[in-house]
Structure 1
Amino acid sequence: MAAQAVKLFIYDISKGMARQLAPMILGRSLDGIWHTSIVVYGEEFFFGGMGIESCPPHGTILGAPDNVVDLGSTEVPSNMFYEYLSQLGADSFKPDSYNLFEHNCNNFSAEAAEFLTGKSIPSYITDLPNEVLTTPMGQMLKSMLENTQVTPSSGHSTRNFNSKR
């Protein structure tokens, strides 16, 4: 099997609002509120309120990503990656385990990237929840938004990797 390119798709789910409003609300600037996914084997893999899913690249309701990071390549066969996703979906990335601040799409992308390439995703993405939570308003927002789920699926064909074991 030839090496497969691994990409990180980065979406600002605030569509630029975080950059404008964060200084007033949080007292600090934010470049965005990030949703990420891993693109490999011709599919986009992500974690949200429905668990681990995949679709064709750009196939979520979020459309085209705001940024694409080349994470390198992988020699991991696709069937091994799918087995890995099924295990994650049955254990640590079940739909009911999603938490906007503590266990989200970015945690999934970091784990999948590590499995595929031995590298993680940029820390500015994974550190964002803690940055928000260090502010007084961030603590207030946490209690209001804690059970909010991001579900980027769309009308495109999606595959769910959550095992029913």
Structure 2
Amino acid sequence: MDQPNATYAVKLYIYDLSRGMARQLSPIMLGKQLDGIWHTSIVVYGEEFFFGGEGITGCSPGGTLLGEPNTIVDLGSTEVTEEIFMEYLSSLGESTYRADRYRLFEHNCNTFTNEVAQFLTGRKIPAYITDLPSEVLSTPFGQALRPLLDSITIAPPGGNVINGQDSQR
């Protein structure tokens, strides 16, 4: 049961899906330095939440096959109760963040994390993460690869899908 006037820590988990390869290969392939290919999630109420090709998913922190995050950023705290948050996630899972709405460049884990961070804390996630798709697409190589990259769906295994009526929570 949530305590009245309680606050809950909100963390941003940042994973490099390339495991360091982006840093090494991006100058050659894109003509600019990328430090990583970022997957992000929000950790709050003792659980990690993210969006991918299966919809909104929750798991224990660090509980996907991605393992431990490369970086953890403290986004502050929230007074939003877990019950209200789960209703909010359920609503997002039925509408804006359904699995079929995932788009690698325009509507991805980072879009979701940024929206949820603002809902919980009023703060956005770092711009170097949300600006990454436009950085890649601003290069000739990025444009050439776009059709292939658009077909990619990221869905780190592990966790329970949260999508309204089908919620396993």
TM-score by length of 2: 0.93
Residue 104, structure 1, aligned to residue 108, structure 2: yes
Equivalent in 34, 40, 43 of residue 30 of structure 1: 34
Aligned counterpart, 1:7: 11
1:161 equivalent in alignment to 2:168: no
Q: Which one of 144, 152, 155 corresponds to residue 151 of structure 1? A: 155
Q: Any conservation in 2 of the 1:4–1:73 contact (CA below 8 Å)?
A: yes
SS of 2:164's partner is coil
Q: Does 1:65 align with 2:66?
A: no
- Letter in structure 2 aligned against 1:159: N
Q: Is the 8 A contact 1:46 1:53 kept in 2?
A: yes
Please state how far the C-alpha of 1:160 moved relative to its aligned partner.
1.7
SS of alignment partner, residue 112 of structure 1: helix
Cα shift at 1:153: 2.1
Structural RMSD (CA): 1.0
Say whether the 8 Å CA contact 1:101–1:142 is kept in structure 2.
Answer: no
Q: TM-score, structure 1 length as denominator? A: 0.96
Q: Which runs of 4+ in 1 moved over 4 A?
A: none
Q: Does 1:93 align with 2:97?
A: yes
Q: Aligned residues: percent identity?
A: 60
SS of corresponding position for 1:106: helix
> What is the distance in 2 between the residues matched to 1:126 and 1:11?
14
Structure 1 range deviating more: 142-151 or 38-47: 142-151
SS at match of 1:6: strand
- The residue number in structure 2 matching 1:117 is 121
Letter in 2 for 1:55: C
CA drift of 1:164 comes to 4.3
The correspondence for 2:51, drawn from 47, 52, 65, is: 47
Q: What is aligned with 1:21? A: 25
Give the partner amino acid of 2:15. Y
Alignment check: 8 A CA contact 1:4 1:74 kept: yes
Aligned partners of 2:79 and 2:165: how far apart in 1?
A: 28
Partner Cα separation in structure 1 for residue 45 and residue 161 of structure 2: 16
User: Which ranges of structure 2 fall in alignment gaps of 5 or more residues?
Assistant: none
